[in-house]
Structure 1
Amino acid sequence: MKIEENSYCHIYNRGNNKGLIFFHEENYFYFLERFKKYVCPHVEIFAYCLMANHFHFFIKVNNVTGFENGIKNFFISYTKSINQSYARVGSLFQGRYKWKKVDSESYFTRLVTYIHQNPKSLSFANKQLQDYKYSSYKDYLNKEATFINTKVVFEWFGSLDEFIAAHNTYD
């Protein structure tokens, strides 16, 4: 199955051999910078979470050809940079990215919540989701401009309060 124009997708991948893909804090920010450059012009982003050895994005693909070229160039750019910076060779990621089609509004809200709750699997579990730096959750709580399409997500949840409540109840 191929990604189609205007389809909603959960994009994810992890490090080769379940290894790290982020070695220092600046890697997380560089990863997002590269993603914004290569992929964002072709998609809408609704949620993301970057973990030490894997990542998740919930996107809507607006331009399939642009997305496919962009994501390929994104992975090449990020991997080359990490390999040069840390004297590594070879694949950083476990094969090609994975994706699942997201095709119902209930799946939309569950996926946003699932992505944002990823840090709860760490020792981070006793902290607040908004304190995790490498997730889009905090973008929903502040009024600053963001590359995340928060407006549409709030429509799915109904309001900011319902968004927060859903994140506090799902496990």
Structure 2
Amino acid sequence: MKLEVLEKDCYYHIYNRGINGTTIFENDGNKLYFLKQLAKYSADKISIFAYCLMNNHFHLIVRLNVEEKEVTQAFSNLFNSYAKAFNKQINRTGSLFEKHFKRIKLKDENYLKQLIVYIHLNPKHHFNLDFRNFKFSSFQAYLSDKQTKIERNEGLNLFDDLENFIFCHNQKDNLLNETYTFE
């Protein structure tokens, strides 16, 4: 599989999972450490618009602020540092993530908006959890006034405002509820 070439100033859906679907986050501490390492290695290299950390995979929406080589190296450093710490913690060896992180270039603003909602609803998709209260997605950062690494203002502008941001998430959530209702 040929990987998408990363381009400066473009938006991407970055995601990966544990090798063979294995767990990559065993607890909240693992997820917090991953986010800490993400901030450390990606500072000024990418802008983050959304994220969600599930037990066996993660999703990010990013915009590249520098050239591909720097971003690819930053992600490599992030994944290597996280895998080493995780493996040490649970006394395991070997690869943690699938070989390459996946990346899809987002071609238009509408797709970007839909993907932000999709990523925030990931806990609902996989575990029927209320995405509004899920601790390890960027949804709460959009609702908060606290300082964040998320491009909150720019992200909200895509939806026009916070009210419409929430409305779009609730609409998609309602569709998911209807999809899973059996009579």
Q: Does 1:86 align with 2:90?
A: yes
Equivalent in the alignment of 1:142: 144
Q: How many angstroms does 1:122 deviate by?
A: 3.7
TM-score (norm 1): 0.95
Q: Does 1:22 align with 2:25?
A: yes
TM-score (norm 2): 0.89
RMSD: 1.1
Report runs of 4+ in structure 1 exceeding 2 Å deviation.
121-125
Equivalent in the alignment of 2:65: 62
1: distance between equivalents of 2:11 and 2:126? Answer: 28
Unaligned ranges ≥5, structure 1: none
Q: Does 1:3 align with 2:17?
A: no
**Equivalent pairs, count:** 169
Equivalent in the alignment of 1:74: 78
Q: How many angstroms does 1:124 deviate by?
A: 4.0
Equivalent in the alignment of 1:151: 153
Equivalent in the alignment of 1:166: 168
Question: Alignment identity in percent?
Answer: 38
Return the index of the structure with the highest Cα Rg: 2
2: distance between equivalents of 1:123 and 1:67? Answer: 31
What are the within-5 Å matches in structure 2 for residues 23-38 of structure 1?
Answer: 23-38=26-41
Q: How many angstroms does 1:68 deviate by?
A: 1.3
Q: Does 1:97 align with 2:101?
A: yes
> What are the superposed Cα offsets for residues 12-33 of structure 1, whole Å, 9 maximum, x if unpaired?
0001110100012100000000
1: distance between equivalents of 2:58 and 2:32? Answer: 13
